[in-house]
Amino acid sequence: MRIGIDLLWVRHGICGGTESVARNLIRGFGEYDKQNEYVLFVARDNRETFQEYLSYGNMREVVCGTDSGVPWRRIVWENLYLDKYARKNGVDVMFIPVYSKTRTWGSRMPYVCVIHDLQAVHYPQYFSAAKRRFFKYAWKYACRTSQRIVTVSEFCREDLIRYYPFAKDRIVTIYDPVISEGSPVPFEKLKTRYGVESGQYYYCVSSLLPHKNLSTVLKGMAAMKEQGGGLKLVLSGVGGGEGEFNERLKALGIEDRVVQTGFVSDQERDCLYENCRVFLFPSIFEGFGMPPIEAMRRGKNVVMTEKSCLREITEGKAFYVEDPMNVEEWLAMIRTAEGVPGRVEKFEKYEPEAIVAQYAALWAEVGNSAKVAGE
């Protein structure tokens, strides 16, 4: 069977977790799926970032006539031409790793879409009115017209059914694949760059968006400084208002306590995981949440909230704050985590091989159903 993957939306280093998930999936399909072929539909300005995957014998690329860097133009192109490109290239099932399913103009091509969360429903204040309208339209359209909708946690599946009950029988949960490897990057390189010692900093992977709740952790860093203790916080991530964030650091007097790395490669991120004292994850809303899994697989204690899917995903193995906004609770839980030896957690159900097997079964189910319907 030939599976098409829409990658036109990927703006390398900007899309954050959704890009990481898509790349983990592609790598998994290349390494573990020996039955299906994959066609990567890439944009002119992101094709170079996907070249490494073409070394897999079951993958090839189709370069489309649009660019990822101009979202509105890309969306128009996708809706006008992507389905035609897919049919021209003999695709049996089209996979959209994000929520924005394209128009098919009467085509019978079966589609599988991924909806990672309904954040704009729960936190509308973080989105413009135009974005809220677009998200709601895209989610509803995907739920109405896709053969299957994949959600990445049971929390997300139940959420989706609550708002789009008509799609209940077509919604399935397949967790995100999480790839964990030892980093080839020597810590000495990062030590010099960021001015931190191994085991002497807290680490956080997060965007600067409000629902990530970084403001509470920053208040905690300020409280630690006032008390004459605490470590530096190293923060990796993209997105959000950098200017406002920097003003926040200045107002709290902790410019010297927070190191912002911006976007880092997976290898550098992994090195920062491996050498931190404790990993912090203050987010109050996630569809899945890869960073805590990545940290615990490296034997790091994680202090985090248990909101949305997060206790489900981490299987109750982290250190949880009950009130995400309570600075004193954060400080107490960080001290507790620092006093307990870390333990490597395997989380085998997130291994790419296990996830790929579930997707391969889904391709077969959807593809066979489409053939029967077409007979």
The per-residue pLDDT for 81 is: 96
Alpha carbon distance, N-terminus to C-terminus of the chain: 17
CB 311 within 8 A of CB 288: no
Residue 64: other Cβ atoms inside 10 A: 21
Instruction: Give the burial class of 112: count Cβ atoms within 10 A of its Cβ; 0-12 exposed, 13-18 middle, 19 or more buried.
Output: buried
The percent of residues in the chain predicted with pLDDT above 90, rounded, is: 83
The percent of residues in the chain predicted with pLDDT above 70, rounded, is: 96
> What does the alpha-carbon distance between residue 225 and residue 161 come to, in Å, rounded to a whole number?
45
**pLDDT confidence tier of residue 373, bands split at 50, 70 and 90:** low
Task: Give the domain extent around 11.
Answer: 2-177+351-374
Residues 81 and 215 placed together within one structural domain of the fold: no
159-218 pLDDT, tens digit per residue, is 999 999 999 999 999 999 999 888 899 999 999 999 999 999 999 998 887 888 999 999
Residues 210 and 137 placed together within one structural domain of the fold: no
348-357 pLDDT, tens digit per residue, is 999 999 999 9
Q: What is the DSSP string of 109-147?
A: --EEEE----HHHH-GGGS-HHHHHHHHHHHHHHHHH-S
Phi, psi of 264, deg, nearest 5: -125, 155
CB 80 within 8 A of CB 59: no
Residues 29 and 148 placed together within one structural domain of the fold: yes
Residue 198 tokens read as 């191994």
Instruction: Tell whether 44 is covered by a domain.
Output: yes
Q: Is 124 helix (H, G, I), strand (E, B) or coil?
A: helix
Among 268, 290, 306, residue whose Cα is nearest residue 347: 290
Instruction: Tell whether 226 is covered by a domain.
Output: yes
Residues 152 and 191 placed together within one structural domain of the fold: no
Instruction: Tell whether 50 is covered by a domain.
Output: yes
Residues 155 and 226 placed together within one structural domain of the fold: no
Residues 287 and 245 placed together within one structural domain of the fold: yes
Residues 160 and 202 placed together within one structural domain of the fold: no
| Arithmetic mean of pLDDT over the chain | 93
Residue 262 has pLDDT above 90, yes or no: no
Q: What single DSSP character describes residue 112?
A: E
Instruction: Tell whether 182 is covered by a domain.
Output: no
More confident residue, 359 or 123: 359
Q: What's the CATH code of the domain at 370?
A: 3.40.50.2000
Residues 222 and 337 placed together within one structural domain of the fold: yes
Among 243, 252, 189, 187, residue whose Cα is nearest residue 215: 252
> What does the alpha-carbon distance between residue 247 and residue 365 come to, in Å, rounded to a whole number?
52
CB 131 within 8 A of CB 42: no
Across-strand partners of 67?
A: none
Residues 195 and 320 placed together within one structural domain of the fold: yes
Half-sphere exposure of 144 (CA within 13 A, CB side): 9
81-117 pLDDT, tens digit per residue, is 999 999 999 999 999 999 889 999 888 899 999 999 9
Residue 242 tokens read as 């950098």
> What does the alpha-carbon distance between residue 19 and residue 6 come to, in Å, rounded to a whole number?
12
Structurally, the chain folds into a number of domains equal to 2
Instruction: Tell whether 294 is covered by a domain.
Output: yes
Residues 130 and 256 placed together within one structural domain of the fold: no
Place of tokens 């790419």: 352
> What does the alpha-carbon distance between residue 369 and residue 325 come to, in Å, rounded to a whole number?
48
247-261 pLDDT, tens digit per residue, is 999 999 999 999 999
Among 149, 124, 148, 151, residue whose Cα is nearest residue 135: 124
Among 341, 343, 266, 353, residue whose Cα is nearest residue 298: 343
Task: Report CA torsion sign: 113, 122, 177, 21.
Answer: positive
The per-residue pLDDT for 21 is: 92
Q: CA triplet 312, 316, 321: central angle to 5 degrees?
A: 100
The per-residue pLDDT for 360 is: 97
Instruction: Tell whether 368 is covered by a domain.
Output: yes
**pLDDT confidence tier of residue 315, bands split at 50, 70 and 90:** very high
Instruction: Tell whether 277 is covered by a domain.
Output: yes
**pLDDT confidence tier of residue 15, bands split at 50, 70 and 90:** low
The per-residue pLDDT for 375 is: 44
Please state the rounded mean pLDDT for residues 287-311.
Answer: 95
330-343 pLDDT, tens digit per residue, is 999 999 999 999 99
Out of 36-50, 64-78, 153-167, 229-243, which region has the weakest mean confidence (pLDDT)? 229-243
Residues 165 and 230 placed together within one structural domain of the fold: no
> What does the alpha-carbon distance between residue 288 and residue 309 come to, in Å, rounded to a whole number?
6
More confident residue, 263 or 226: 226
Residues 37 and 125 placed together within one structural domain of the fold: yes
Residue 287 has pLDDT above 80, yes or no: yes
Q: Hey, what's the torsion of the CAs at 331, 291, 203, 320, to 10 degrees?
A: 10
Among 129, 96, 122, residue whose Cα is nearest residue 110: 96
CA dist 327 → 50, 221, 223 (Å): 42, 9, 8
